[in-house]
Copies of this chain bind each other. A is one copy, B any other.
Amino acid sequence: MPDVQSKPEDADKKGPSHEAPPITDFLDRTRFPVDPWRLVEQQFSDENLGTTETVFALGNGYLGMRGNVEEGRDSHSHGTFLNGFHETWPIQHAEEAYGFARVGQTIVNAPDAKVIRLYVDDEPLLLPVADLLDYERAIDFRTGVHHRDILWRTPAGKRVHLRTTRMVSLTQRHLAVMTFEVTMLDDSAPVAISSQILNRQDGEDEYHVPDKAMGEGVDPRKAERLIRRVLQPVLHRGDKERGRVELGYRCTDSGMTLGVAADHQFSTDNQYTCDVDVSEDLAKIVYRIDAEPGQTVRLTKLVSYHTSRGVPPRELLDRCRRTLDRAASEGVEKVEADQREWLDDFWHRSDVVVEGEDKIQQALRWNLFQVAQASARAEGSGIPAKGVTGSGYGGHYFWDAEIYVLPFLTYTRPQAARAALRFRYTLLDAARRRAAELAQKGALFPWRTINGEEASAYYAAGTAQYHINADIAYALAQYVAASGDLDFLVREGIDVLVETARMWADLGFWREDNGGDFHIHGVTGPDEYTTVVNDNLFTNVMARFNLRRAAEAVRELRELDGPQYDALVERLELQDDEIGEWERAAEGMSIPYDEHLGVHPQDLHFLEREVWDLGNTPLEQRPLLLHYHPLVIYRFQVLKQADVVLALLLQGELFTDEQKRAAFEYYDPITTGDSTLSAVAQSIMAAEVGYDDLALRYFLSSLFVDLADLHQNAADGVHVASTGGVWGALVFGFAGFRDQSGRFTFDPRLPEQWPSLTFRLMLRGNRVRVTLGQDQIELVVEEGEEVTLDVRGESVTVTTGGPTTVHLKGQGPHLDGEPAPIAGRQRADGSVIEAIVPGA
């Protein structure tokens, strides 16, 4: 690509396109040294506060705490989030229309229980100005603990040793545990420790560092700012004897309720006093200590959050108390041990090892750890785009979870995948109402939501993405196929499959004058740089899957189970002729293909557009969405993210190798990667078609998207879909694993730089360990019975009886370099395709 060849020095601003620089450029290793099991910071810096708050965030899928320092003050944004705990507000459209989304939903920044301020000689510890003799903070992926170890020389020259830990429990979703240890090393001093729960919603104590990278006010990816009071205080209590403080709130408009309570265990041999002060927005316990040198002061703070759609805060605080009492009686050590056990199991199922690549290994484990943090205890909620690490995208659930995160869960922790799919099932009634509002039968899942109602205020890139229906059906079918969980299918999953299929059958139509194809008009595919088109390839391919799978499932269940089948016929008012209608629609589905160029157009008329000359578009004009009017972007062949390429990946068995390669070579040069969802899909497809070098570069840019803030918005929270996609790039990309048409297959393309790649898959209840080397693949069932797999067409039965080894002849196809730009290519008629930069 010209822009990179001529301007390599700019490449690190660009994000995940294939101009990614070598891995060693991504992080400052003096500050962030390599450690395969930990993310470590060894120099404090208040630059990139937003990014470090995100990458050092802790969460369990329910409760999330950004990586703010305990002492408070300087921050990008103090953040504590409870998955699904949101405020609603009426969406004001600048110009109204029927059916526009009405109910805005924004995750609430909950009262902050992380705050523990430290004063020595009445001087506060403020890291940005403090004289730090030693500094380390780290998250250990094996313990899930965020710890800091700081040696501070106070303004008076006294050395203070501070050690803190913070942990959000993966086994008790309502619990977080913090410790705070202070030791005066040389001199005595009056020390004060003020532990707080601070409701910051009105801006109190907020020292906001604006994110200069983004234009003010124009970035649709940030959360709405609610300028009114969101949390109405309902009650506050303090109990000095027990060191317990409690606050209860109700959201003004959504009516959701929250209780937060903290217990404090304080120990020291020094003299000290304790004061408790609790008011509506601040609960505070202050310890004043006459600290002698060498006498450690230790505070343990246990925090519990409970939330609800409407249970009174008083009752939620009862629940908090039970959580805290149990933790106290079991002891913090037990909580830590449980956490370690949970993570041992997680890594045992989910770890991926890239031999000899510690930098990759560290980043990779950080990514996988993020999926755990986003999903572990999400339970009745979905998996938000940012997990519980930030307010980006308002805490909403999108298709990202189904397409990018669920495969990882399905093949490593199937019960977590089931929980996420069950959550969609609980939204089915809302989706039925939404379909009716859009004049359709069946159910239409909202493009973005927390409570089940469509919250997308921009329909062209929101509501128009009907493909969400098929994405959910796809993830559901993938889970059922991989797990064999027919119980879920027959009781709940079938309802989702049927209602989504009904929507497609009703939305599409037969065009008799065109050979009788079934068409879907006026929808938007995953690529948001082209909207409201006819026969978007991704949508049609996935809708076809949805229709087929629903028909197949109904037929399967009819065979399987009399009374249960009768129940679902009644529940869903299933008509016999529906099944045939879905099958005919699937069979007749229009799948646009351009014979001249030999590529599948992104939509029926995509190839009629002008081609955007990305190579000559200045880097400061990226991402395009922040520099061009949508009308300009939509007019061109230019992609925010993979669309056809993703379809050909998800439904790969239905397309030829030539088609995949042609699609990749056509779309890759016009894909900006302005969405982080793009790089992982492009990595997998690059690996499949043979652009092995490019596959690795896309993989690396996904791997570091947040750690190195490659999209300049890591501050808003972790790109959870990308973290899930990192696993996909390894397993589906380099290992070439597929689970299609009832077969588990491998077609490896291990990068030549890597000696081996090891991971586990849960296949129909059996855990298979896969070790892929340059010349062989080794398979063994670690838990369960036997599994039949297929390596490059060779059927292999794998058992617990020791590794089965299949020798490989090389690692898949190899193509040099990367696809050429489209501009300059010749059409069938001999004319040359041109490209322009709009407005240049």
A179 contacts the other chain (CB 8 A)? no
Q: Mark A213-238, 1 if CB is under 8 A from B, else 0.
A: 00001111000000000000000000
Contact partner of A94 among B92, B439, B610, B625, CB < 8 A?
A: B92
| Cβ distance A783 to chain B, nearest Cβ, rounded Å | 47
Q: With A and B bound together, what is the CA distance between A521 and B509 in angstroms?
A: 25
Would A522 and B631 count as touching, CB distance under 8 A? yes
A555 contacts the other chain (CB 8 A)? no
Most B CB within 10 A of own CB, among A97, A99, A437, A438: A97
Would B97 and A459 count as touching, CB distance under 8 A? no
**CB contact list, A505-539 vs B, under 8 A:** 509, 511-514, 519, 521-522, 531-532, 534
Q: With A and B bound together, what is the CA distance between A26 and B69 in angstroms?
A: 74
A521-B608, A605-B605 given; name 17 further pairs at CB < 8 Å: A92-B94, A93-B93, A94-B100, A95-B456, A96-B219, A97-B458, A98-B629, A436-B839, A438-B632, A459-B630, A464-B631, A509-B836, A512-B831, A522-B634, A532-B631, A532-B634, A604-B608
Give chain A's interface residues, CB within 8 Å of chain B: 91-101, 104, 217-220, 436-440, 456-460, 462-464, 509, 511-514, 519, 521-522, 531-532, 534, 596, 604-605, 608-610, 625-632, 634-635, 827-829, 831-832, 834, 836, 838-839
| Contacts known (A629-B438, A631-B438, A839-B440); A513 close to B95, Cβ less than 8 A | no
| Cβ distance A609 to chain B, nearest Cβ, rounded Å | 6
Q: With A and B bound together, what is the CA distance between A514 and B94 in angstroms?
A: 39
| Contacts known (A522-B634, A635-B521, A827-B512); A439 close to B98, Cβ less than 8 A | no
A829 contacts which chain B residues (CB < 8 A)? 512-513
Would A610 and B521 count as touching, CB distance under 8 A? yes
Would A631 and B95 count as touching, CB distance under 8 A? no
Q: With A and B bound together, what is the CA distance between A464 and B534 in angstroms?
A: 19
Q: Please state the number of chain copies in the assembly.
A: 2
| Cβ distance A592 to chain B, nearest Cβ, rounded Å | 12
Q: Is the interface of A mostly helix, strand, loop or mixed?
A: loop
Would A439 and B629 count as touching, CB distance under 8 A? yes
Q: With A and B bound together, what is the CA distance between A832 and B510 in angstroms?
A: 12
Q: With A and B bound together, what is the CA distance between A532 and B631 in angstroms?
A: 8
Would B838 and A220 count as touching, CB distance under 8 A? no
Most B CB within 10 A of own CB, among A628, A827, A834: A628
Most B CB within 10 A of own CB, among A92, A534, A635, A834: A635
Q: With A and B bound together, what is the CA distance between A437 and B838 in angstroms?
A: 11
| Cβ distance A434 to chain B, nearest Cβ, rounded Å | 10
Would B438 and A630 count as touching, CB distance under 8 A? no
A439 contacts which chain B residues (CB < 8 A)? 628-629, 632, 838-839
| Cβ distance A222 to chain B, nearest Cβ, rounded Å | 9
A97 contacts which chain B residues (CB < 8 A)? 218, 220, 458, 625, 629-630
Q: With A and B bound together, what is the CA distance between A64 and B625 in angstroms?
A: 43
Would A629 and B95 count as touching, CB distance under 8 A? no
A831 contacts which chain B residues (CB < 8 A)? 512-513
A519 contacts which chain B residues (CB < 8 A)? 608
Q: With A and B bound together, what is the CA distance between A92 and B217 in angstroms?
A: 10
Q: With A and B bound together, what is the CA distance between A531 and B605 in angstroms?
A: 15
Q: With A and B bound together, what is the CA distance between A631 and B459 in angstroms?
A: 8
A104 contacts which chain B residues (CB < 8 A)? 94
| Contacts known (A94-B91, A513-B831, A522-B634); A629 close to B457, Cβ less than 8 A | no
Q: With A and B bound together, what is the CA distance between A577 and B94 in angstroms?
A: 42
Q: With A and B bound together, what is the CA distance between A618 and B94 in angstroms?
A: 29
28 interchain pairs (CB within 8 A)?
A94-B100, A94-B104, A96-B217, A97-B218, A97-B458, A97-B629, A98-B625, A98-B626, A98-B629, A98-B630, A99-B629, A99-B630, A99-B631, A100-B629, A437-B629, A439-B839, A440-B839, A459-B630, A459-B631, A463-B629, A463-B631, A512-B834, A513-B827, A514-B608, A522-B631, A522-B634, A534-B608, A605-B605
Would A457 and B94 count as touching, CB distance under 8 A? yes
Would A99 and B628 count as touching, CB distance under 8 A? yes
Q: With A and B bound together, what is the CA distance between A834 and B510 in angstroms?
A: 10
A464 contacts which chain B residues (CB < 8 A)? 631
A828 contacts which chain B residues (CB < 8 A)? 513
Query: Considering only CB atoms, which chain B residue lies closest to A435 in the complex?
Result: B839
Query: Considering only CB atoms, which chain B residue lies closest to A219 in the complex?
Result: B96
| Contacts known (A439-B632, A458-B95, A532-B631); A509 close to B596, Cβ less than 8 A | no
A532 contacts which chain B residues (CB < 8 A)? 531-532, 631, 634
A438 contacts which chain B residues (CB < 8 A)? 629, 631-632
A460 contacts which chain B residues (CB < 8 A)? 460
Q: With A and B bound together, what is the CA distance between A460 and B94 in angstroms?
A: 13
Most B CB within 10 A of own CB, among A104, A458, A630, A831: A630
| Cβ distance A420 to chain B, nearest Cβ, rounded Å | 26
Q: With A and B bound together, what is the CA distance between A604 and B514 in angstroms?
A: 15
Most B CB within 10 A of own CB, among A94, A462, A604, A834: A94
| Cβ distance A392 to chain B, nearest Cβ, rounded Å | 14
Query: Considering only CB atoms, which chain B residue lies closest to A516 in the complex?
Result: B831
Would A521 and B609 count as touching, CB distance under 8 A? yes
Would A635 and B522 count as touching, CB distance under 8 A? yes
A608 contacts which chain B residues (CB < 8 A)? 511, 514, 519, 521, 534, 604
Q: With A and B bound together, what is the CA distance between A219 and B596 in angstroms?
A: 47
Q: With A and B bound together, what is the CA distance between A297 and B521 in angstroms?
A: 70
Q: With A and B bound together, what is the CA distance between A531 and B464 in angstroms?
A: 14
Would B459 and A629 count as touching, CB distance under 8 A? yes
Q: With A and B bound together, what is the CA distance between A628 and B438 in angstroms?
A: 7
| Cβ distance A484 to chain B, nearest Cβ, rounded Å | 38
| Cβ distance A380 to chain B, nearest Cβ, rounded Å | 28
Q: Which 5 A-B pairs have the closest CB atoms?
A: A439-B839, A99-B629, A94-B457, A512-B831, A522-B635
A93 contacts which chain B residues (CB < 8 A)? 93-94, 457
Would B94 and A458 count as touching, CB distance under 8 A? yes
| Contacts known (A512-B827, A513-B829, A829-B513); A98 close to B627, Cβ less than 8 A | yes
Query: Considering only CB atoms, which chain B residue lies closest to A610 in the complex?
Result: B509
Q: With A and B bound together, what is the CA distance between A218 and B104 in angstroms?
A: 17
| Cβ distance A533 to chain B, nearest Cβ, rounded Å | 10
Q: With A and B bound together, what is the CA distance between A98 and B634 in angstroms?
A: 13
Query: Considering only CB atoms, which chain B residue lies closest to A521 in the complex?
Result: B635
Q: With A and B bound together, what is the CA distance between A626 and B458 in angstroms?
A: 18
Q: With A and B bound together, what is the CA distance between A337 and B437 in angstroms?
A: 59
A832 contacts which chain B residues (CB < 8 A)? 512
Would A96 and B220 count as touching, CB distance under 8 A? yes
A511 contacts which chain B residues (CB < 8 A)? 608
A839 contacts which chain B residues (CB < 8 A)? 436, 439-440
